[in-house]
Amino acid sequence: MKRDLAPTRLDHMIDIVQQHALDEQRVATAIPFLSLLRSSHPTPVTKGVLKPSCCVILQGHKRVHLSDEVLDYGPGEYLVVSVDMPASGHIISATADKPYLLLNIELDPQEIAAIVLEAKITIDSEQPVRGAFIGQTDDALQESLYQLVRLLHAPPAEAAFLAVGLKREIIYRMLNGPYGRQLYQNVVLDQQDRGISKAIAWLKARYDQPIKVEELAQATNMSVSSLHHRFKAVTNIGPMQYQKQLRLQQARSLLLNGEVDATTAAYKVGYESASQFSREYRRLFGAPPMQDIKKLRTAP
């Protein structure tokens, strides 16, 4: 006779999240750094810029593309992003009976750096690592996540206050787990002015300006070859490709908001040629600007 298995921490989190994520969209919570995502069906590929965060899948599966690298993850696994990363992704497994459920925990690199210092965690290498990776939750991390999710039932003020300590505990668990080096390596290198976050911030502040890689290298105290090596190691693309994707993402936002036409958007984000903009936009998003925007606006 087959016996029913006792519910796991993952099962309990699924039950709680389904009570709070009722709509097919991202849901904000009373916990400022925590949002929920639910989908009852697979989704088409979407492109964007991933922000520093930890995304834990409770149910379903997702595929993320970082340039030519593909990351698949599912129940009990998490995607950590330590720097702003241009990426594309889509939900590949979800049904009405077993919807895709995700916890999104925003990460602050300064907070991670402080915990590294307080917990006396040391680096075993000075080489940068990829700015996004997949990890597997263990029992200790699942328990910390469960205690965080339980706060969704608490009064908002209580949930927001108690969640701060639990977030530190979750970060500590990840730092001391088998994937810890991948989480803290780039953060600590940035604290020592040897990381890529400074280069990314510099590019974001000047995404609409013509720049030379030599200027970026000088601004970040690196040689051109070291900048290329470190930047590609973290983001999987070069700094000029990164700037191009920032431009195209910003242009897409302008078009989607109905603020400008395609030609004006091109010039606003730094293109000197509307035809070049259209070609590169189509290459990234799979359709010319206005056709892409029309498809986004009519998508269910």
Of 58-72, 122-136, 261-275, 278-292, which gets the smallest average pLDDT? 122-136
Average pLDDT on 135-151 reads 96
Tokens representing 198?
């400074």
Domains 9-187 and 193-298 are alike in CATH topology: no
Tell which CATH architecture fits domain 9-187.
Sandwich (2.60)
Give tens-digit pLDDT for 54-68.
Answer: 999 999 999 999 888
Highest mean pLDDT among 104-113, 164-173, 191-200, 214-223: 164-173
Q: Which helix (H) or strand (E) covers residue 90, if one does?
A: strand 85-93
Rounded Cα distance between 283 and 253, Å, is: 17
Asked if pLDDT for residue 125 goes beyond 80, the answer is no
Query: Tell me, what amino acid is at 267?
Result: Y
Q: Each residue of 75-94: pLDDT tens digit?
A: 999 999 988 889 999 999 99
CB 28 within 8 A of CB 106: no
97: DSSP letter: S
- The region, left, alpha or beta by phi > 0 then psi within -120 to 50, assigned to residue 155 is beta
Nearest to 132 by CA among 76, 88, 177, 96: 88
Q: Of 46, 61, 72, which Cα lies nearest the Cα of 99? A: 61
Average pLDDT over the chain, rounded to whole?
90
CATH number listed for the domain at residues 193-298: 1.10.10.60
For the chain, domain boundaries: 9-187, 193-298
CA–CA gap between residue 86 and residue 92 (Å, rounded): 20
pTM score, two decimals?
0.86
pLDDT of residue 110: 85
- How would you classify the pairing of strands 77-81 and 132-136? antiparallel
List CB contacts of 83: < 8 A, sequence separation 6 or more: 52, 109, 131, 186, 196, 197, 200, 234, 235
Dist CA 137 CA 297 (whole Å) = 37
CA distance 299 to 239: 32
Give the residue, 18 or 25, on which the prediction is more confident.
Answer: 18
How does pLDDT run across 158-198, given as a tens digit for each residue?
999 999 999 999 999 999 888 888 888 777 777 665 678 88
CB contact set of 221 (below 8 Å; sequence gap of 6+): 193
Question: What average pLDDT score do residues 202-215 get?
Answer: 93
Q: Which tokens hold the place of 274?
A: 């509307």
Please tell me the distance from the alpha carbon of residue 264 to that of residue 255, in angstroms, as a whole number.
Answer: 9
If pLDDT is split at 50, 70 and 90, which confidence band does 126 have? low
